[in-house]
Amino acid sequence: MNRDGAILTVRDLRTHFFTQEGVVKAVDGIGFAIAPKQTFALVGESGCGKSVTALSIMRLVPHPPGRIVAGEIVLSGKSLLDLTQRQMRDVRGGQVAMIFQEPMTSLNPVFTIGNQIVEAVRLHQKLSRRGARELAIETLADVGIPDPARRFREYPHQLSGGMRQRAMIAMALSCDPTLLIADEPTTALDVTIQAQILELLKRLQGRRGLSILLITHDLAVVAETADAVAVMYASKLVELADVRTLFGKPLHPYTHGLFRSLPRLGQERKRLETIPGSVPNPLAFPSGCKFHPRCPVGRDLPRCQGQEPQLREVAADHWAACWECPGYAEAKPTDPARPMPYRRADDDPAK
């Protein structure tokens, strides 16, 4: 166990893209921690830096133009940013695996499903071709693919979207990673399949003791699967809490806005509320609090316009970055890279 009992600790991560138009600070000083067997959701609009955070953890930020300019990423006591390329390759797929949004494009069309899983297995484990094949078929069965021995020989285009995502999960899990990064794993799937995939992830998590970093913009998915949530806006975290606290008592006006823009059962039918304005241009972020031009609270407040609030622990294990939220003034800027207490610890590992 490392110092704070976290599988993954990210501290003050800054990933910038050096483009011709200027420096895009895609991720600008974020920190969080994921406890063992926890599902940690990173929520935000498109372009807020969620995916870049994931790529930074994998050290797969496209370079050039992107580069991790500062920060610390510690995975099971190992500082990932200090590893050599070679060591990093062992981590990828070995300890951290990743699944993607688009199951249509995340499997290589020219190889069979089995071929791709076997390759992943043999990159990390000393297994014979036969042994790897058996493990692959076993994993395919494990992710709920019927007739895995046949699916093993099939090509991605012969599988449906849900099946492909399952195959992708099988590939990611074949080497028993401790952390799974799921970048919008259900966005491209229809709702029934979404539920199946989320159910599958939850089941696998219980059985394999997996930690999951779930990247999504879908609050319904968060409510259903996450233990802790970080809300990201314009390259920074604006709120961080366990899922109950965040859903029960959101503090940041942006989080409020996200909840208000959800349809509600039993509500009289009317136009859904939106957050006015749009995501700021990362080349020219607004001064002060980056959310202030869209904020119903701080739009006209001079402090919000002039000074950027940092993340502070406004209540126990509840961080927010907003001048106007209750308790912010007295709160201390404690390190948010501390694992959350999580509610689903022993929920259903038996299943």
Partner 1 sequence: MASPENAELAASGPGRAGRSLWADALRRLRRDRIAVLCFAVILVYVVIAIVSPLLFPRWSDEHDYDNINLAPSGRHWLGTDALGRSVFQKTLLGANTSLTVAFMANVIAVPLGMVLGALAGYYAGWVDDLIVWLYTTLASIPGIILLVAIRFAFKEVVLFEDSFFKMDLDEGMAGVYLALGVMSWIGTCRLVRAEVMKIRELDYVLAARAIGTRGIVTLFRHVFPNVLHIGIIQFSLGFVGAIKAEVMLSFLGLGVGTGVPSWGRMINAARMELVVGRWWQLTSAVAAMFFLILALNIFGDRLRDAFDPRLRTA
Q: Which is nearer to partner 1, 4 or 82 (CB)?
A: 82
Q: Which is nearer to partner 1, 27 or 172 (CB)?
A: 172
User: Which stretches of the chain bind partner 1, using CB under 8 A?
Assistant: 58, 60, 64, 85, 89-94, 97-98, 100-102, 105-112, 119-120, 123-124, 146-147, 150, 153-155, 157-158, 160, 162-163, 168, 171-172, 175
Q: Which is nearer to partner 1, 78 or 303 (CB)?
A: 78
Q: Which is nearer to partner 1, 132 or 234 (CB)?
A: 132
**How many angstroms separate the CA atoms of 42 and 90, rounded?**
25
- For residue 141, give the H/E element and its range: helix 129-142
Q: Which is nearer to partner 1, 192 or 267 (CB)?
A: 192
Phi and psi at residue 315, to the nearest 5°: -140, 175
CB of 160 to partner 1, least distance (A): 5
Q: Which is nearer to partner 1, 138 or 147 (CB)?
A: 147
Positive or negative, the CA dihedral 298, 300, 303, 306 is positive
Residue bearing tokens 């501290």: 11
What number of other Cβ atoms are within 10 A of residue 120's Cβ? 22
CB of 42 to partner 1, least distance (A): 17
Q: Which is nearer to partner 1, 37 or 122 (CB)?
A: 122
- For residue 240, give the H/E element and its range: strand 236-242
CB of 126 to partner 1, least distance (A): 14
C-beta pairs of 188-196 under 8 Å, 24+ apart in sequence: 188/101, 188/102, 188/103, 188/104, 188/161, 189/103, 189/161, 189/162, 189/165, 190/161, 193/161, 193/162, 193/165, 194/221, 196/144, 196/162
CB of 43 to partner 1, least distance (A): 21
CB of 61 to partner 1, least distance (A): 11
Question: Is there a contact between 15 and 26 (Cβ–Cβ < 8 Å)?
Answer: yes
CB of 96 to partner 1, least distance (A): 8
Residue bearing tokens 């491209």: 188
CB of 132 to partner 1, least distance (A): 13
Phi and psi at residue 256, to the nearest 5°: -55, -50
Residue bearing tokens 């990247």: 215
Question: Is there a contact between 193 and 132 (Cβ–Cβ < 8 Å)?
Answer: no
